[in-house]
Structure 1
């Protein structure tokens, strides 16, 4: 697949395949000699374009440290819910001086085309492709795992294109992590983790580039929260860590604010603070567990992007969150309140990690080897709880019998 190289301009004439295109030209635009369209593109097609008229090229291309919450949110959608990308992403804006549409071939020809809004999204898509596919040259848009939406503005006046780019790149995002940090909501959480990991830093501001993502920590701790603390056995509660990290942060801050007035809020807040360091350990343990090797996860997920990553020797070193989240959720069966408002987690010696991984792989295949579907399936979370729950039940029966 031909595409614009990093740091280079796209060809003056560029051909893109599309799924659907519609004209949206208004009377005012027509008077100004401007034409506008909305087009759905296979995701790989957006990589053919460059960003020479964009005010901000892809930040992380120059400094990975500058990847922020916006980049991470885009990456999360790509990895976990790619079919939702076209709806959740604000879309791309493409400027061109001319367009030719061939609806029979489902192709458009653009002259002097450039992305004027969406460079960060394109950069995250390119990053995902680099990490997930062996040979970018062989990418086939007919097999693209999801689509993106773009507005195409056709204007022969270059100066007007520049003005449009300036207008489209003016925005001020909400900084929720910064708000939580400024209000002191995250201090005890960080201190708890530092007692286990000396010098560990969590994000308390959107500009904390060298710190661990606080939302991820809250997701992991929420997975370990037992029913005795959450008092919520709904599917929505089981899936919340995977589907809504922002809500995990919002509710943690709410528990902080209510901890002196509401007993349930206090227990949830204290549980999260206490268990956060263990939750990080637990997630990292399963994310790169040796037992993932030998199950052909790499081979089974080639078309839509890998469910795992391998090192140079071919060993799996990372597994998609869609597979790991349900396992960590199942580990909540091993969490116990050893004293009032004091929680611990201990895996019985009868528990076999390799068996847990094998069960997770079986569930993965039951959802057509789709990591996103697995992470969003309440049935998968319930199924993976059976093994640890059974061990606990048998141990309790033996203990009561003796």
Structure 2
């Protein structure tokens, strides 16, 4: 079995025996494709793990090999012909995939294993020990072609134990969400915060990741630090939970973590109220945003709004449009008497911010694509110019 080919930088040729494209309509709409392939176990060794949450645990110390590793090893050594059935396989992401069925090759760009690093590690261990005498056998691979690297990060999170929901359970168990839950329950009587994957999200049970995303949008740039992009809460929602957990863990030892943690706890109820306020703002009703596309079946680029069937008034706005608005409001967030507050000045006109948001939505850059607006740094910057200018004028007054 051939194990290597000359390829362009960042590209990898993966031989296969069989491959099938099982891309769903939803994936296709997002520019994603998925294949399942049977590949040689030896060919798995050359794929990187740069986008995985964890590399091979026992890479630097054999003492870290656990029962899972040993079970994989036993199957490889004793039943290699059954490995493809006994093992859950590996998941590979790439930013582009060209399949040549004549040559039985899939050329992957920026390929990375995001689930199966332990399997790969045990395969490397086995083939190294056997010194060329090891048997050939097959592994099943799922290949996900996702052009956007930030979405690959989200897929990696979702495909491993640190999924956004399971991480909520971990954060809740470690006490990281206790203060946040208390702050929400005190400010919003009758409502509470999801603390585990078993908590059912509903009218009175708030989605923890969503709350952290909304709150992170209100965080002033100087508090975030560095050059963190404003669109991170939309592009990498899971990162908001990871960061919050890290700040909670380090709050007692690191002043910057304490300040960010306190901000999130204090401002979470404010962010919830603001998101709801803008989601049903009367200003959307005059903007001629349509629920459906020209064929009246589904909206072009994702539904921007929903309307009440009886009144025809907007009662929901897509997060991709609302996130840049909340981010712009961070210009009005400040510390007063030792507490973070959001204070919208009289010069600020909410209808004007909505008008600018719709203008960005219809711009050539976004082209009425809801998800594209949520990711567009230009959209965030354009809306922030309005609020930042007002804040700067008031500071100089």
TM-score interval (norm. to shorter): 0.5 to 0.7
Which residue of structure 1 lines up, in the alignment, with residue 194 of structure 2? 203
Q: What whole-Å deviation, never above 9, does each CA across 1:42-64 have from its counterpart, x for those lacking one?
A: 617xxxxxxxxxxxxxxxxxxxx
User: Map of 1:310-325 to 2, 5 A cutoff?
Assistant: 310-312=307-309, 313-325=311-323
Once the two structures are superposed, what CA deviation does each residue of 1:41-94 show, in whole Å capped at 9, x if it has no partner?
5617xxxxxxxxxxxxxxxxxxxxxxxxxxxxxxxxx8xx9525546xxx899x
3-state SS of paired residue (1:283) = helix
1:215 equivalent among 209, 213, 238: 209
Which one of the candidate residues 30, 40, 60 is aligned to 1:83?
30
Which of 288, 297, 320 lines up with 2:289 in the alignment? Answer: 297
d(CA) in 2 for partners of 1:392, 1:25 = 59
Structure with more of its chain in helix, by fraction: 1
Gaps (5+ residues) in structure 1? 1-23, 27-35, 45-77, 94-170
SS in 1 for 2:346: coil
- 1:394 positional shift: 2.0
Partner of 1:4: none
Instruction: Render the CA deviation track for 1:248-302: whole Å, top value 9, x for unaligned.
Output: 1011010011111111111000000000000011111111211111222216753
C-alpha separation in 1, matches of 2:161 and 2:392:
48
Distance verdict in 2 for CA 1:182–1:287, change over 3 Å: same
Please report how far the alpha carbon of residue 391 of structure 1 lies from its aligned counterpart in structure 2 after TM superposition: 1.5
Aligned partner of 1:263 in structure 2 is: 255
Match of 1:43 among 18, 25, 40: 25
1:114-134 CA distance string (max 9 Å, x none):
xxxxxxxxxxxxxxxxxxxxx
Q: Distance in 1 between matches of 2:333 and 2:315?
A: 27
Does the CA-based 8 Å contact 1:215-1:245 persist in structure 2?
Answer: yes
Give the corresponding residue for 1:368. Answer: 367
Equivalent position SS for 1:251? helix
Q: Distance in 2 between matches of 1:82 and 1:188?
A: 40
SS where residue 38 of structure 1 aligns? strand
**What is the 5 A alignment of 1:100-249?**
174=162, 175-210=166-201, 211-232=205-226, 234=227, 236-249=228-241
- Structure-to-structure mapping, 1:340-351, within 5 angstroms: 340=338, 342-351=339-348
Residue 370 and residue 92 in structure 1: after superposition, are their counterparts in 2 closer, same or farther (change >3 A)? farther
Quick one: which of 302, 307, 311 aligns to 2:304?
Answer: 307
Of the candidates 305, 312, 334, which is equivalent to residue 336 of structure 1?
Answer: 334
The structure, 1 or 2, with the larger RCO (C-alpha pairs under 8 Å, 6+ apart) is 1
Per the TM alignment, residue 230 of structure 1 is displaced from its structure 2 partner at its CA by 1.2
Distance 2:354 2:32 in 1: 29
Q: 1:64 maps to what in 2?
A: none
Q: 2:313, 2:180 → 1: CA distance?
A: 34
In 1, the alpha carbon distance for the partners of 2:197 and 2:32 equals 23
Task: Please state whether the residue corresponding to 2:252 is helix, strand or coil.
Answer: coil
1:351 touches 1:388 (CA, 8 Å); kept in 2?
Answer: yes
- Residues 183 and 265 in structure 2, CA contact (< 8 A), matched pair in contact too: yes
In the TM superposition, what is the alpha-carbon distance from 1:395 to its structure 2 partner? Answer: 2.1
| Aligned twin of 1:378 | 377
Cα distance per residue 1:301-324 (max 9 Å; x no partner): 533432111111321111110100
Distance 1:284 1:387 in 2: 21
What's the counterpart of residue 327 of structure 1? 325
Label 1:262 to 1:173 Cα distance change in 2 as closer, same or farther (>3 A). closer
SS in structure 2 opposite 1:261?
coil
What value does the CA root-mean-square deviation take over the aligned residues? 2.7
Are the structure 2 counterparts of residues 320 and 37 from structure 1 closer, same or farther at C-alpha, using a change threshold of 3 Å? same
SS in 1 for 2:362: helix
The alpha-carbon deviation at position 40 of structure 1 amounts to 5.4
